[in-house]
Structure 1
Amino acid sequence: MELLDSGKFEEAGIEALNLRDASRIAAARFMERLPSSVRAPKLTIDGEGDIVLAWDSPRKVFVTVEGQVLHAILDPGTPDSMHIDSLNFADGDIPGEVLKILPKG
Structure 2
Amino acid sequence: MKVIIQISEKEKIPMGNVVGSHVAREDDVEAVEIVFLESATIATTKIDMIKPLLENKKITVMACKTSMEMNNIKKEDLLPTISPTPQGGFLEILRKERDGYLYIHV
Q: TM-score, normalised by structure 2?
A: 0.27
Return the structure number with greater relative CO, CA threshold 8 A, min gap 6: 2
Q: Which has the higher strand share?
A: 1
Q: Which has the higher helix share?
A: 2
Q: TM-score, normalised by structure 1?
A: 0.27
